[in-house]
Amino acid sequence: MRLTYHGQSCFIIENGQDSIIIDPFLSGNDKATIKPDDVNVSYVLLTHGHGDHVLDAEAIARRCNATIIAPNELANYYGSKGLNVHPLHIGGKHDFPFGRVKLTLAFHGSGMETDNGLVYVGPPVGFLITMDGKTIYHAGDTGLFGDMKIIGELNNIDIALLPIGDNFTMGPEDALIAAEWVRAKTVIPMHYNTFPLIAQDGGQFVRDLKDKGINGIELKIGESAEF
């Protein structure tokens, strides 16, 4: 299984047969190394409705005839546009051809800017994705919260994707605590350095993980890791 980081909270996960993208924010990120038209996936996973997570979701899903997997309200928003959707909600899970997706809590917001103003599109979430026998925890945009301990206790997490940008999400200090709580074999930082307001040192975060006995990987935009 290959996991490729594309900036902010966007990842593409592929196993040679199936390919999914999480929170596509490419056309609005001048640091991204690919464009939406370069993406070929069967599923688009969305953690919440903010623009830096859904900007390219509709274009990718429509061109690829992909299914959007998202919290119920957000999925229904895209369903009203004629797109293929699969709604889930917190605590719920479903088996797809590529693997299993379960929604977790995330503490953040979720509103979409439209021509008619700000539209509420349901709560933010995280994802537990099981694919090729590996479990990936994409925490979404979130602050530190105590139930991360439960997520770590109930799941054998191989890879945790944790925000470290601060200001809108956890900063590095809280993300280190989250890394301990979720008990992942490998931790990869995300949601940082896209804008000056969330500038962080991903390399230092990985070194701090190592000091705690936790394996970390700093993926530069466009870089991949094999699991």
Compute CA distances 221 → 11, 86, 192, whole Å.
10, 28, 11
Question: How many contiguous H segments (helices) and E segments (strands) does the chain have?
Answer: 6, 16
Of 132, 193, 213, the closest CA to residue 203 belongs to 193
> pTM higher than 0.95 for the full model?
yes
Q: What is the DSSP letter of 211?
A: H
- Total domains in the fold of the chain: 1
Q: What is the pLDDT along the chain (227 residues), one digit of tens a residue?
A: 999 999 999 999 999 899 999 999 999 999 999 999 999 999 999 999 999 999 999 999 999 999 999 999 999 999 999 999 999 999 999 999 999 999 999 999 999 888 888 889 999 999 999 999 999 999 999 999 999 999 999 999 999 999 999 999 999 999 999 999 999 999 999 999 999 999 999 999 999 999 999 999 999 999 999 99
Question: For the sheet containing 99-105, what is the strand order?
Answer: 93-96, 99-105, 125-131, 134-138, 159-163, 186-190, 215-216
The helix/strand/coil state of 210 is helix
Per-residue confidence (pLDDT) for residue 119, from 0 to 100: 87
Per-residue confidence (pLDDT) for residue 214, from 0 to 100: 98
Per-residue confidence (pLDDT) for residue 115, from 0 to 100: 82
Interstrand relation of 111-114 and 186-190 (parallel, antiparallel or unpaired):
unpaired
CATH number for the domain spanning 115: value is 3.60.15.10
Q: How far apart are the first and last CA of the chain?
A: 5
Residue range(s) defining the domain that contains residue 210: 2-226
